[in-house]
Amino acid sequence: MNHIRTLLLASLLLSALLNISTPLLAEEKIVALDRIIAVVDNDVITRSELDERMRLITQQLEKQGTPLPPREALEKQLLERIITDRLQLAFAAQTGLRVDDNQLDKTIERIADQNKLGLTEFRSALENDGISFKKFREDIRREIVLARLREREVDNRVTVSEAEIDNLLTTQTARGAGDDELDLSHILIRVPDQAAPEEVQKLRAKAEDALKKLQGGADFGQVSAGFSDAPNAMEGGKLGWKKLSELPDLFQEPLKALKPGELSPLLRSSNGFHILKVTDRHGNTMPLVVQQTHVRHILVKISEVLSDADAEHRMKDLKERLDNGGNFEELARQYSEDGTANKGGDLGWLSPGDTVPDFEKAMNALQPGKTSEPVRSPFGWHLIQVLERRSQDMSKESARLKARQEIKGRKADEAYQDWLRELRDRAYVEYRLEDKE
């Protein structure tokens, strides 16, 4: 009898492993084994990973009211995103880029605060949406790493010359469209470097199919999720408000005549095929008058040698000396750890947004001639003194700043796509999504 029982148990175990239904266990549920759907260098992507990403993105699209694209198309788009993320994360790890738990905790606290929730309430809200807090933490860690990686490898290396700014402003004036702003959405069908003519034609057909669906009234967000290779494909392809001049030259001419709700023709660039939609547009020629503050400060940084509490105590001592007739400029030269120390801590005239929020809030609360209590910011502890205020027309300065940001943003986006292609070209990627389940 024991021999028969042993054979029976072995048979049942084998049947379960092979995912074969067993009459004797008809009432039990057979769980399919996970499987590999892609190999990325020395790493793998599993079916369960893609299914979990599908579940989350489906929830997101449904909350946005975006009709879901066909499941097969959405799966392929998400797999490509996972592969790209996996390559970047591997590169970040190889080059020592990491986010520690302390940095991560502070970021999550800010996210909870932005949602006007305490950390416990925020955690409960996530779990009510079916999102485990542990996974949310790791997803946020991944997003921080990706953002810092792009900043390090691409954004910080992009430079903009004064001549480029002058040329852009001259072009804007000549075209008479420098103030035109457009609310845009974008679909990109990426074409790999050195793609064969047959592959290019296949991708063109895919792009034409997407455009045809849009022209037939399909929801842009749905088509974006099902077709686009752009990083914001799952967010409806939304680019937000962009000045016409900050867009690539390829886009500017077709967009000039488009009215809200209209689509561009299919556009071809070195990256691939593009479709643009104008959601809204307007011009803005109002002068920009802002309140500026002339301010100086003393900064004491926190370090391994000086703790947060010790730094705060030092600043309280300095504040007491100022209250008893101490000279701000002299104390700044002696104690400030900022680059402005040799100028007595003088930061010059600051416009809204020039400093971090904690500093700006304290600065704005001061009357001219007054000095703040110690103020904590990401840079350390400050004593802030307002010297004077003025209203200033910053139209020209603002135009140059926006032009710089526009040029840098455009160059950074192009450089980032080039960098991703290079990263992908160096990698070994094997697809197994089409294998039978």
Strands 272-282 and 267-268: antiparallel
| pLDDT for residue 98 is more than 80 | yes
Tokens of 369: 């001639």
CB contact at 8 A, 274 and 295: no
b/e for 87-110, b at 16 or more Cβ within 10 A?
A: bbbbbbeeeebebeeeeeeebbee
pLDDT of residue 129: 82
| pLDDT for residue 50 is more than 90 | yes
pLDDT mean over 253-281 = 91
- Give the CA distances from residue 393 to residues 169, 176, 352, 401, 403, in Å, rounded to whole numbers and listed in that order: 18, 21, 13, 14, 17
Pairwise CA distance, residues 318 & 373, whole Å: 10
Three-class secondary structure assignment of 237-278: CEEEEEEHHHCCHHHHHHHHCCCCCCECCCEECCCEEEEEEE
Domain membership of residue 319 as a residue range: 291-393
- Count of domains for the chain: 3
- Give the CA distances from residue 353 to residues 246, 375, 420, in Å, rounded to whole numbers and listed in that order: 21, 17, 32
Are both 197 and 344 inside the same structural domain?
no
Count of helices and strands (H, E) across the chain: 14, 11
Name the more confident of 180 and 93.
93
Residue 126 within a domain: no
pLDDT mean over 24-37 = 58
Band of pLDDT at residue 359, cut at 50, 70 and 90: very high
Are both 246 and 177 inside the same structural domain?
yes
Pairwise CA distance, residues 383 & 326, whole Å: 13
Closest to 39 (Cα-Cα) out of 79, 91, 96: 79
Are both 186 and 255 inside the same structural domain?
yes
Residue 221 within a domain: yes
| pLDDT for residue 121 is more than 90 | yes
b/e for 151-185, b at 16 or more Cβ within 10 A?
A: eebbbeebebeeeebeebbeebeeeebbebbbbbb
Are both 216 and 295 inside the same structural domain?
no
Tally of CB atoms within 10 A around 399: 17
pLDDT of residue 146: 94
Are both 10 and 67 inside the same structural domain?
no
Pairwise CA distance, residues 36 & 432, whole Å: 7
Residue 109 within a domain: no
| pLDDT for residue 179 is more than 70 | no
pLDDT of residue 3: 41
pLDDT of residue 15: 36
pLDDT mean over 33-38 = 86
pLDDT digits (tens, 9 = 90+) for 416-432: 989 998 999 899 999 98
pLDDT of residue 56: 85
Pairwise CA distance, residues 21 & 426, whole Å: 44
Are both 65 and 170 inside the same structural domain?
yes
Residue 386 within a domain: yes
Are both 269 and 407 inside the same structural domain?
yes
| pLDDT for residue 437 is more than 70 | no
pLDDT mean over 14-24 = 36
Tally of CB atoms within 10 A around 73: 16
* Least confident stretch, 14-18, 25-29, 322-326: 14-18
| pLDDT for residue 392 is more than 50 | yes
| pLDDT for residue 16 is more than 70 | no
pLDDT digits (tens, 9 = 90+) for 189-219: 988 888 899 999 999 999 999 999 999 999 9
Are both 219 and 250 inside the same structural domain?
yes
Name the more confident of 277 and 12.
277
pLDDT mean over 36-55 = 92
Q: Which residue has the tokens 């450089």?
A: 415
Are both 281 and 302 inside the same structural domain?
no
Is the entire prediction scored with pTM above 0.85? no
pLDDT of residue 30: 46
CB contact at 8 A, 296 and 195: no
Task: Classify residue 371 by its DSSP letter.
Answer: B
Residue 124 within a domain: no
Residue 140 within a domain: no
Report the percent of the chain where pLDDT is more than 90: 52
Are both 342 and 415 inside the same structural domain?
no
Closest to 224 (Cα-Cα) out of 173, 262, 186: 186
Pairwise CA distance, residues 50 & 174, whole Å: 50
| pLDDT for residue 222 is more than 50 | yes
pLDDT of residue 7: 35
Residue 169 within a domain: yes
- Find how far residue 50's CA is from the centre of its chain: 21
CB contact at 8 A, 233 and 160: no
Q: Where are the beta strands (DSSP E) in 394-435?
A: 429-431
Band of pLDDT at residue 87, cut at 50, 70 and 90: very high
Which one-letter amino acid corresponds to residue 171?
T
Are both 209 and 247 inside the same structural domain?
yes
| pLDDT for residue 102 is more than 50 | yes
pLDDT of residue 263: 95
pLDDT mean over 406-411 = 88
| pLDDT for residue 355 is more than 50 | yes
Are both 223 and 353 inside the same structural domain?
no
State residue 292 phi and psi, 5-degree precision: -105, 150
Give the domain CATH number at 347: 3.10.50.40
Tally of CB atoms within 10 A around 432: 13
As a whole number of Å, the end-to-end CA separation of the chain is 38
b/e for 276-296, b at 16 or more Cβ within 10 A?
A: bbbbebeeeeeeeeeebbbbb
Residue 145 within a domain: no
pLDDT of residue 32: 52
